[in-house]
Amino acid sequence: MLAFCYISSVAKRKMTNFDLFFYMFIFFLTIFLYYFFVITRNKKSSSQRKGYKLPPGSMGWPYIGETLQLYSQDPNIFFINRQRRYGEIFKTKILGCPCVMLASPEAARFVLVNQANLFKPTYPKSKETLIGQSALFFYQGNYHMHIRKLVQTSLNPEAIRNQIPHIEELAISALNSWAGGHVVNTYIEMKKYSFEVGILAIFGHLDAHLKDQLKKNYSIVDKGYNSFPTNLPGSPYRNAIQARKRLGKILSEVISERKEKKLIEKGLLSCFLNAKDEKGLVLSEDQIADNIIGVLFAAQDTTASVLTWILKYLHDNPKLLQSVKAEQKAICQSNEQENHGLTWTQTRKMPMTNKVVLETLRLASIISFTFREAVADVEYKGYLIPKGWKVMPLFRNIHHNPEFFPDPQKFDPSRFENVQKPNTFMPFGSGVHACPGNELAKLEILIMTHHLVTKFRWEVEGSNSGIQYGPFPVPVGGLPARFWKESTTST
């Protein structure tokens, strides 16, 4: 206020640009000093009243904290360096938010399982807007449990086992489209495949024109999801907002048609349409649409990233590739003799391939961490986690800890021949917010891998080292590669 009054008192005389800059500087300096001394003092006094201290660590610069340090380097280096310096619980500030990072299995379980009611899921408002505010992973309590139960019911083993022939068809079609030796972006192509599987699991059969409209608009939303949330005309975020509205209309059309014609289709949508909560209430169209889009977001990028890393790791380990091929070709030969495709039982009996999938999930750690927010002051191991602070269990740090996984940067599927220590391997999260679609994800990964190694060969194009984040980790450039059908190249 003092700075504002001072500027007002001199506004009657003509000011130069330097004057204006100087007075505005005084104004913002006053605001900063107010924030720094008053707000920070209140936070400190809160921790002192509780009798606990804040975790060790650095809050970095005022407001921006350590955001620049995080985004100017490999995020893994950022987290690992601070864990080495401060221990398995430390504080920082990212994008203006004070955060507590947790890098131990016990701490992750404390936040995600034991005291999950004290830590709510938290996402930037811009992302909630694009997915839909009724999506289950923005909630706790009865609504979350109701929606989660519906998703699990439609994606559990009993529900998805009959989808194997259709998923096989999608995998073979995708692989055939890559064959011929032209360079493809593996990650982008795997995203297309996982999107198709998601559509199948949600809608069952869907008319081609509606599917095309969903793909077109979802792609625009996907591009804008991680962009800077500015609503300027032509910006990726503005385009995504508009595409999200169109997605809502398309889904409303599908929902209305199925209600009117009483169409019977297996999948998540039918589960939503027939569901009632404990009060007998049905889901609204907006609730259904938000959760359908949420499931697509949760399923596509993560599964595509895992598949891309599997392809890379097998390419880089020829002996391992031969072992996986031998396992899968034995299944393939058996099915050719009996004239049928993959069965559910066979997907449960792929020990070598399954260990490759698990090791890929560990080493790549597609979900590096998750966001929660303390809904009250929480004490953990003598430290205070203040109400409103972000809390981040660091899955990647746990997965790469040599105490739990010796030589953690080595791709070694044999480590999964032994049972892992509790809470040291959490590729799908943990607790009530763990991924409810993990069985479907594992199934589509195994099916794609089966057909990839038995019917095709591939070569990675250019350098195959390095990782890019967008936000999920993928090999640099999406792993450009060339594919050929085995039958056309064997001699």
Known binding residues for heme are 435
Q: Which residues, in sequence order, are CB contacts of 381 under 8 Å at separation 6+?
A: 89, 107
Structure tokens at 271: 């589960």
- How far is it, in rounded angstroms, from Cα 198 to Cα 374? 32
From its phi and psi, is residue 401 left (phi > 0), alpha (psi between -120 and 50) or beta? beta
- How far is it, in rounded angstroms, from Cα 100 to Cα 480? 37
Q: Minimal CA–CA distance to 101: which of 55, 137, 61? A: 55
Structure tokens at 324: 């996986």
- How far is it, in rounded angstroms, from Cα 9 to Cα 140? 52
The dihedral through the CA atoms of 258, 262, 263, 264 has a sign that is positive
Structure tokens at 42: 């209140």
- How far is it, in rounded angstroms, from Cα 364 to Cα 41? 41
Contact 440, 344 (CB under 8 A): no
Q: Cα–chain-centroid distance for residue 117?
A: 22
Q: Could you list the residues known to form a binding site, using ranges.
A: 435
